[in-house]
Amino acid sequence: MNTVRLQITGMTCDHCARTVEEALGSLPNVKARVSYEDALAEIETSADIAPERLVKAVQAKGYVATVLDGASSPTTTEGGDSLHVAIIGSGSAAFAAAIRATEEGAQVTIIEAADIIGGTCVNVGCVPSKIMIRGAHIAHLQAGHAFEGVPLNPPAIDRAAMVRQQQARVEELRQAKYQSILDANPNINLIRGRARFVDSKTLRITRPDGVEKTLTPDRVLIATGARPAIPDIPGLQETPYWTSTEALIAEQIPDHLVVIGGSVVALELAQAFLRLGSRVTILARSTFLSREDPAIGEALVKVFEAEGARVRLHTLPDAVAHDGKEFVLSSQIGEIRADALLVATGRRPNTAALGLDAAGIETEKNGAIVIDDHMCTSAEHVYAAGDCTNQPQFVYVAAAAGTRTARNMTGGDAALDLTTMPAVVFTDPQVATVGLTEQQALDQGLDVESRTLDLENVPRALANFDTRGFIKLVAETETGRLLGAQVLAGEGGEVIQAAALALRARMTIAELADQLFPYLTMVEGLKLCAQTFTKDVEQLSCCAG
């Protein structure tokens, strides 16, 4: 008997190793043991079986095999060609994966059905929304800040000018971060068209002119993103309602805007329009930010109402109509009339037209592709990343998933750990969270304690004359280990990463309380909140250590 050792690349889990092991074991007179962790196959075989036959058996299952005394690259096929990666979509996950895959030696084909590249974030999501929110914040400060001696100056809003500046920056970033990468990287090829799986190894692409092309890549990444989800309200589909896409480029400020939704996009845009001069009514199916600590939603309702919004919780329209001039909403609180309607009730994965059943790819009821922490789908060599999956819909999660997917497609082993994922809602005050809420910890059977520090105890908030909000920390009772943080504060998004790093480092509340934090920063509130587990911070000096 001979012993042959193969390096196996492309395996992403123990199931892959068993698949390779079975493929090798099906050959006559072959006994194989395959280790996923070592990316190695140790094979005992009779002398009449050439190593090339073993390699072909592995490659028939879609993996790359190299005899250890040879010199083959994990990003080459048996014939020496570069590994071919097809990516459906052109957003953040897609480009992060494409860049990394080419760095690993692969050839990449990006398939995009839309007229423009770049996906949601740069075109109709993060970038334009944060520009609008910032402009609205400036208008709000001009009209209503708390500083004596500085005259208030309610601005005259030129919304069309705001949109022009906003969209110019969108186009600039799309060119710099997406198109220029395509132009400069010869190993990334863009195909315009709609992709659909024929089977798990074959894609059929329909170009805009109707011509079809078949592609058989070595690996496939699905990164098709998501679109606004529209609730089934009678009459709604027949009206000219807005989603966030239309709202962000609207060149007129509506006199009265109704917003349906109580989550991230709904609240961010509702407050922006409110501060730009609209009367705003918010109809939320349940509460504000219902997945967060209830105290956050309750406090935000007070903030919005103090700024003039009309908030109705546990309320959705029974029907919607448009009479040519106004929207007419029938509801349990009576008839509501408005000249604009924004529907922001979540986002739905763009997966319905991909033919996932033909490839054996598992999805959830809403169409989200089920993946593991290596971004593997239920089909071998097919991966998914970003908003089309069952992962959280954040652009930084998508980009991190894309990069790790590329490593896995080219022979690496990279998991995406979301246990310390920070999240930010760009209302004012901002909502920023990481880790477990108190209820989530209790639901997991953990014995926990928590403390909440109102911002009136944070010197920076006092200096800003803005004490709206709080900082809450959740810790394990026995060990004192930090389990989660919830922040409602101006610039809360700049605070939460410190909590995320503390969580990642498995710090205790005592260790967090003992850290040095610069005075008159909002992040000092983390230290002060940690100190409340053992002290009355109202009895400390302004920057007591």
Q: Dihedral through CA 349, CA 201, CA 380, CA 45, nearest 10?
A: -170
Greatest CA span in the chain, whole angstroms?
93
Do the strands 482-489 and 448-454 form a parallel or antiparallel pair, or are they unpaired?
unpaired
- Exposed/middle/buried for 204, CB within 10 Å: 0-12, 13-18, 19+? middle
End-to-end CA distance of the chain: 71
DSSP-derived secondary structure letter, 217? -
**How many Cα atoms occupy the beta-carbon half-sphere of 492 within 13 Å?**
28
Q: Which residues of 232-257 are buried (b: 16+ CB within 10 A; e: fewer)?
A: ebebbeebebbbbeebbebeeebebb
The dihedral built from the CA positions of residue 13, 225, 263 and 143, taken in this order, carries a sign that is: positive
Q: What would the DSSP string read from start to end of 408-466?
A: HHTT-------TT--EEE-SSSEEEEEE--HHHHHHTT--EEEEEEEGGGSHHHHHTT-
Q: Which of 36, 63, 178, 241 is catalytic?
A: 63
Is 388 noted as a catalytic residue in this protein? no
Q: What is the DSSP letter of 196?
A: E
**Residue 13 known to be catalytic:** yes
What distance in Å separates the CA atoms of residue 194 and residue 188, rounded to the nearest whole number? 18
Active-site pick, 16, 162, 376, 522: 16
Q: Which of 1, 121, 241, 522 is catalytic?
A: 121
CA distances from 315 to 264, 319, 332 (A): 17, 12, 7
Tell me how many degrees the CA angle 67-68-71 measures, rounded to the nearest 5. Answer: 80
For the chain, how many helices (H) and strands (E)? 17, 26
Closest Cα partner for 97 from 292, 375, 448, 458? 375
For 506, counting Cβ atoms within 10 Å of its Cβ (0-12 exposed, 13-18 middle, 19+ buried), the class is: exposed
Structure tokens at 8: 């196996």
Nearest CA to 277 out of 256, 301, 292 is that of 256
**Half-sphere CA count of 260, side-chain side, radius 13 A:** 28
Is residue 126 part of the annotated active site? The answer reads yes
Asked about 542 being catalytic, the answer comes back as yes
529 catalytic? Reply is no
Q: Using CA atoms, how far apart are residues 301 and 310, in angstroms rounded to an integer?
A: 9
- Residues marked active site are found at 11, 13, 16, 63, 121, 126, 542-543
